[in-house]
Amino acid sequence: MKKIISSVLLCLTSAIAFCQTNNADIAIIPQPVSLTKTTGVFSLPQTIVIEAPVTQEMKEVTRFLKERLSVATGINVTVQNAAPSAAIQLLLNKPQDAVIGKEGYNLSVTSKNIIIKANTAAGLFYGVQTMLQLFPKEIESAVPVANISWTAPAVEITDYPRFGWRGLMFDVARHFFTKEDVKKYIDNMVRYKYNLLHLHLTDDEGWRIEIKGLPKLTEVGAWNVKKIGYFGTFSHPAPDEPKTYGGFYTQEDIKELVQYAKERFVNILPEIDVPGHSLAAVVSYPELSCTPGADKYRVRSGEPIMDWSKGAPPIALVDNTLCPANEKVYEFLDKVVTQVAQLFPFEYIHMGGDEAPHNYWEKTPAIKTLMQKEKLKNMVEVQGYFTRRLEKIVRSKGKKFIGWDEILEGGVEPSAAIMSWRGMKYGVKAAKMKHEVVMSPTTYAYIDYMQGDPIIEPRIYAGLRLNKSYEFDPSPDSVDAKYIKGGQANLWTEQVYNMRHAQYMTWPRGWAIAESVWSPREKKNWNNFFNRVEKHFERFDVAEIKYAPAVYDPIFTVSRTADKQLKITLASEAPGLDIYYTFDNSFPDHFYPKYTSPLIAPKEAVMLKVITYKGMKPVGRLIAMPMDELKKRADKK
């Protein structure tokens, strides 16, 4: 008894991590609101009966659960409408449980049965996701696995989300991803209780959605010349190079995707990015440009089209904007938005608004005339005029308008929602102005950024490690929480050519963001999260979903000593790792020197090789860091 009391006391008085060690075999992401481990385990019986409402909304929930419980185990699973003695019961609450809301659930696992209760089918779906995470990782296998004890620990869980908007953005414009790819992306996001897929459907590199009556958008605008290398540095495509790279979704494809997402309780937010990022539209219909000669433009492959050296807004080298002074542009947008509104049932349409260059507008006589007529003082106000007209179009179709945070600058209607990407500050500002806000800041949520050292990661201009993503709090204390709808991570795909790499970029940072938008703030704990991340790496290995192991890689920091020697500090992002290194070009392992304090490199060393271990097991990738690279970093001002 004394032992139990002292354990409870310890649990109450020490870090969450101690309590979690008692639940060491439980690794749920995102962390539930409350989880109590009870005694015993539930074992899957020889044949499984699931009681579940047999409704249209529950069809995918039960199909999915049946598949997960039968494929790896070989167990026969049936679903019945009423089976009070069923081993697994999914029950809709009558009356409603006010605590768990629209998406929450209660999950009870005992040695006798598993019962999930929720107010909605979505809540049951999320309860099922949690339940599956209680079973051994082999449950993720696509083929039967023998000799596994198919048990789940007894628990009582009450769970519901912190935010209603839990999103991932997938840029299908820079590289086209097929309908089947997008479905796979949805399959993986719902494991972690994401409920919103933001599809970035248009950009300079491609227009990806069929619009009836505007055939060139997809005949011309969906195709470019394939280039491989570093995006942004490609040579300009020659006129005779074949424009065969790309693709688009027909309206039937879109309907199929919307339905697929809906069956998994995911809304799709469509984005048509205007007035900037519109080269694919301009190439399709050059009359939408302010600039004579736009008919000579090509859909971009990744050649330089923007000069960022003077900051934002950028200086365009080709005019990739729609012309705010051209009535044809508003007719075009009306046509596009009308069809987008019909295809996507979600209440919002995202109309972009980011990074629009103004230098071509400055040279345009029609813009000068517009400015005089509308009393617009500068180009920011010209963009504001465009945005307000666009918002009216969106609202006229019965939809709400959302855009990137630049739309705040030109004076936007109070009804517009703001997606804050340039850090948190524009989201905070917008919330103070009483706009609805979705936080997706570069600082925490840009999952196109490198997640480890640039010496090993595919190169992109910025980095974002897992532990930083995990610090994401969409609703900081400085704002009134009622304006914050939630948060999302953004996967831009300039450097993402295929689905395996899209997965690599999304996970594990997608877990950090999932926990940031679902779990109570006070439940977040990096060390505890990381323990669970490792378990989910194992689950993804079984499921054959790719993830980045970058969190195991060492972090290099360099400086010069007073006498100009190179001083190298090594650290590990993942807790509890040992770092082994060598300067002699051979491959380090745990027989090599272990890093304990900053290193002074031998004068003529050419390479520092480093690897991390967890106990006796190598976990990080071997990193070969040229000394010249370290010198460059140390001497960078």
User: Is residue 404 a contact residue for ligand ACM (CB under 6 A)?
Assistant: yes
The least distance separating ligand ACM from the CB of residue 446, rounded to whole angstroms, comes to 7
Q: Which C-beta is closer to ligand ACM: that of 116 or that of 419?
A: 419
Nearest-angstrom CA–CA distance, 265 and 191: 11
Q: Which C-beta is closer to ligand ACM: that of 203 or that of 319?
A: 203
The least distance separating ligand ACM from the CB of residue 355, rounded to whole angstroms, comes to 5
Q: Which C-beta is closer to ligand ACM: that of 303 or that of 355?
A: 355
Cβ(195)–Cβ(166) below 8 Å: yes
* CB-neighbour burial class of residue 436 (10 A; exposed 0-12, middle 13-18, buried 19+): buried
Q: Which C-beta is closer to ligand ACM: that of 412 or that of 610?
A: 412
Q: Which C-beta is closer to ligand ACM: that of 421 or that of 472?
A: 421
Exactly one of 103, 204, 263, 355 binds ligand ACM (CB under 6 A); which one? 355
Residue type for position 637: K
Nearest-angstrom CA–CA distance, 265 and 104: 13
Alpha helices in 354-465 (DSSP H): 365-374, 379-396, 425-432, 442-445
For ligand ACM, the binding residues in 204-223 under the rule CB under 6 A are none
User: Is residue 354 a contact residue for ligand ACM (CB under 6 A)?
Assistant: yes
The least distance separating ligand ACM from the CB of residue 206, rounded to whole angstroms, comes to 16
User: Is residue 231 a contact residue for ligand ACM (CB under 6 A)?
Assistant: no
Cβ(140)–Cβ(461) below 8 Å: no
Q: Which C-beta is closer to ligand ACM: that of 405 or that of 553?
A: 405
Secondary structure (DSSP) of 44-98:
--SEEEEE---STTTHHHHHHHHHHHHHTT--EEEEES--TT-SEEEEE-SS--T
Nearest-angstrom CA–CA distance, 351 and 202: 10
Residue nearest to ligand ACM (CB): 354
The least distance separating ligand ACM from the CB of residue 106, rounded to whole angstroms, comes to 38
Quick one: which of 424, 267, 421 has its CA closest to 348?
267
The least distance separating ligand ACM from the CB of residue 404, rounded to whole angstroms, comes to 5
The least distance separating ligand ACM from the CB of residue 439, rounded to whole angstroms, comes to 13
In angstroms, what is the C-alpha Rg of the chain? 27
Q: Which C-beta is closer to ligand ACM: that of 161 or that of 427?
A: 427
The least distance separating ligand ACM from the CB of residue 179, rounded to whole angstroms, comes to 24
The least distance separating ligand ACM from the CB of residue 243, rounded to whole angstroms, comes to 25
Nearest-angstrom CA–CA distance, 447 and 203: 18
The least distance separating ligand ACM from the CB of residue 442, rounded to whole angstroms, comes to 7
Q: Which C-beta is closer to ligand ACM: that of 335 or that of 422?
A: 422
User: Structure tokens of 420?
Assistant: 């804050």
- For 268, the enclosing helix (H) or strand (E) is strand 267-274
Q: Which C-beta is closer to ligand ACM: that of 428 or that of 608?
A: 428
User: Is residue 530 a contact residue for ligand ACM (CB under 6 A)?
Assistant: no
Count CA atoms closer than 13 A to 151's CA, side-chain side: 14
The least distance separating ligand ACM from the CB of residue 276, rounded to whole angstroms, comes to 9
Cβ(125)–Cβ(86) below 8 Å: no
Residue 349 — left, alpha, or beta (φ > 0 → left; ψ -120 to 50 → alpha)? beta
SS (H, E, C) 487-498: EEEEECCCCCCC
Q: Which C-beta is closer to ligand ACM: that of 263 or that of 391?
A: 391
Nearest-angstrom CA–CA distance, 353 and 205: 17
For ligand ACM, the binding residues in 410-449 under the rule CB under 6 A are 421
Secondary structure (DSSP) of 312-336:
SSPEESS--S--TT-HHHHHHHHHH
Q: Which C-beta is closer to ligand ACM: that of 421 or that of 613?
A: 421
Q: Which C-beta is closer to ligand ACM: that of 421 or that of 581?
A: 421
For ligand ACM, the binding residues in 276-335 under the rule CB under 6 A are none
The least distance separating ligand ACM from the CB of residue 422, rounded to whole angstroms, comes to 8
User: Is residue 504 a contact residue for ligand ACM (CB under 6 A)?
Assistant: no
Q: Which C-beta is closer to ligand ACM: that of 407 or that of 599?
A: 407
The least distance separating ligand ACM from the CB of residue 410, rounded to whole angstroms, comes to 16
Q: Which C-beta is closer to ligand ACM: that of 419 or that of 601?
A: 419
Secondary structure (DSSP) of 572-634:
ESSTT-EEEEESSSS---TTSPBP-S-EE--TT--EEEEEEEETTEE-SPPEEEEHHHHHHHH
The least distance separating ligand ACM from the CB of residue 421, rounded to whole angstroms, comes to 4
Quick one: which of 420, 384, 421, 416 has its CA closest to 400?
416
Residue 476 DSSP SS3: coil
Q: Which C-beta is closer to ligand ACM: that of 263 or that of 405?
A: 405
Nearest-angstrom CA–CA distance, 272 and 278: 9
Cβ(26)–Cβ(155) below 8 Å: yes
For ligand ACM, the binding residues in 27-86 under the rule CB under 6 A are none
The least distance separating ligand ACM from the CB of residue 441, rounded to whole angstroms, comes to 10
The least distance separating ligand ACM from the CB of residue 307, rounded to whole angstroms, comes to 16
- For 203, the enclosing helix (H) or strand (E) is strand 202-203
Taking each continuous run of H as one helix and of E as one strand, the counts in the chain are 18, 28
Q: How many residues interact with ligand ACM (rule CB under 6 A)?
A: 4
Provide the binding-site residues for ligand ACM, judged by CB under 6 A: 354-355, 404, 421
